[in-house]
């Protein structure tokens, strides 16, 4: 292979991997670079002091200003994921470090899971499964629930994934409205410039906006109360967007109808109080978790690094 041949003659480029990546992605990185695995280091500080000065790229996420400061030769951070809220982009910019993400390739997978969670919640599919497995069926039926047909879904964040969710929601015969930073005149759906108003007018609120400081707590108690006792919330974005304690309280009291949650404020820790609730469906951050999508995301991480070190334009630069 050309890269193996070259490695015999030139000093390999050293990169830092910050967390476990897909096997195919790790293999592709190892073919090209000398990879230092920070997440596996017995003493991360020692590893950084040894190799930090030579590290030219990071593959993965969770990159703080402190980490960037320890890598004086750093040129690029290739994030595995479309959301890059775990990267201090201001520090990267200040240090003249490029940042890339993995947009578009996960749109379908995340949209599919979103609709799956909505149907699962509306029809209590996980609860029905448990009901049958526990032998409760002969004694009584599970009950009657709601459906998506004819309902209004408000999408918080009509970006690339939001649009895929919108078209699938329309296939469920739902009416789509949206809230975001600005109206998108090319979109046929009604735009709200006020999230509380949209929540009040919606049966479902789907959250698919970026995380980070700009959206922290945007789904406030007021928004959740506006959604109300018959309202359902779905979060496939980041836990940081919702006031999680308020949501829990409203789900417990009946002030909010239901929630389907793929992400949590302190994931993978999930407040145990959720486990006792019948009106929630819980999922362990599975939005992009399919073989085809994760492979495509991994390939994009590698392709961005390849482009960078070949002096070519990056595929998906965010900084
Ligand atoms: C994760 C995601 O990145 O793309 C995103 O922003 O949240 C997910 O796809 C994925 O779980 C890999 O860590």
Asked if residues 46 and 25 have their Cβ atoms less than 8 Å apart, the reply is no
Ligand 1 binding pocket includes 83 (Cβ within 6 Å): yes
Ligand 1 binding pocket includes 235 (Cβ within 6 Å): no
- Residue whose tokens read 């995340």: 110
Q: How far apart are CA 169 and CA 153, in angstroms?
A: 8
Determine which residue's CA is closest to atom 1 belonging to ligand 1.
81
- Give the CA count within 13 Å in the CB-facing half-sphere of 155: 30
DSSP collapsed to 3 states, 200-268: HHCCEEEECCCCCHHHCCCECHHHHHHHCCCCEEEECCCHHHECHHHHHHHHHHCCCCEEEECCCCCCC
Ligand 1 binding pocket includes 79 (Cβ within 6 Å): no
Each of the 319 residues of the chain gets a pLDDT tens digit; together they read 555 555 556 789 999 999 999 999 999 999 999 999 999 999 999 999 999 999 999 999 999 999 999 999 999 999 999 999 999 999 999 999 999 999 999 999 999 999 999 999 999 999 999 999 999 999 999 999 999 999 999 999 999 999 999 999 999 999 999 999 999 999 999 999 999 999 999 999 999 999 999 999 999 999 999 999 999 999 999 999 999 999 999 999 999 999 999 999 999 999 999 999 999 999 999 999 999 999 999 999 999 999 999 999 999 999 9
- Residue whose tokens read 């940081």: 240
- The residues with which 232 forms a beta bridge, in sequence order, are 204, 258
Q: 303 is written with which tokens?
A: 């392709």
How is residue 11 annotated by DSSP?
P
Catalytic positions, written as ranges: 238, 267, 285
Instruction: Give the domains, in start order, of the chain with CATH numbers.
Output: 2-105+291-309 (3.40.50.720), 107-282 (3.40.50.720)
Task: Provide the terminal-to-terminal Cα distance of the chain, rounded to the nearest Å.
Answer: 32
Ligand 1 binding pocket includes 159 (Cβ within 6 Å): no
Q: Is 272 exposed, middle or buried (0-12, 13-18, 19+ CB in 10 A)?
A: exposed
DSSP collapsed to 3 states, 256-270: CCEEEECCCCCCCCC
- All residues at 6 or more sequence positions from 118 whose CB lies less than 8 Å from its CB, including other chains: 148, 153, 169, 172, 204, 206, 232, 234, 260
Ligand 1, pocket-test mutation among 287, 295, 296, 298, most atoms within 8 A of CB: 287
How is residue 154 annotated by DSSP?
E
């Amino acid at each position: 292979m050309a890269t193996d041949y070259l490695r015999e003659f030139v000093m390999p480029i050293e990169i830092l991997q910050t967390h476990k990546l897909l096997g195919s992605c790790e293999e592709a990185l190892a073919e090209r670079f000398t990879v230092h695995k920070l997440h596996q280091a017995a003493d991360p500080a020692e590893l950084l002091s040894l190799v930090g000065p030579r590290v030219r790229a990071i593959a993965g996420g969770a990159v703080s200003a402190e980490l960037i400061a320890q890598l004086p030769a750093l040129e690029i951070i290739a994030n595995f994921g479309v959301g890059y809220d775990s990267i201090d982009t201001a520090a990267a910019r200040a240090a003249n470090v490029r940042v890339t993400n993995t947009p578009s390739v996960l749109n379908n997978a995340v949209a599919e899971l979103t609709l799956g969670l909505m149907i699962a919640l509306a029809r209590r599919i996980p609860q029905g499964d448990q009901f049958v497995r526990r032998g409760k069926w002969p004694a009584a039926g599970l009950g009657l629930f709601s459906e998506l047909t004819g309902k209004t879904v408000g999408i918080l964040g009509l970006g690339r994934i939001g649009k895929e969710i919108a078209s699938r929601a329309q296939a469920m015969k739902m009416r789509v409205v949206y809230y975001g930073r600005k109206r998108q005149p090319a979109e046929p759906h009604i735009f709200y410039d006020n999230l509380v108003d949209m929540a009040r007018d919606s049966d479902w609120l789907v959250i698919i906006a970026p995380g980070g400081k700009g959206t922290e707590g945007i789904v406030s108690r007021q928004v959740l109360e506006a959604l109300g006792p018959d309202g359902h919330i779905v979060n496939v974005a980041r836990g940081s967007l919702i006031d999680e304690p308020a949501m829990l309280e409203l789900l417990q009291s009946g002030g909010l109808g239901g929630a389907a949650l793929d992400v949590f404020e302190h994931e993978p820790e999930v407040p145990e109080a959720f486990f006792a609730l019948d009106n929630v469906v819980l999922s362990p951050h599975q939005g992009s978790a399919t073989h085809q999508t994760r492979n495509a995301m991994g390939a994009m991480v590698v392709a961005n690094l390849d482009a960078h070190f070949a002096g070519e334009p990056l595929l998906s630069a965010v900084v």
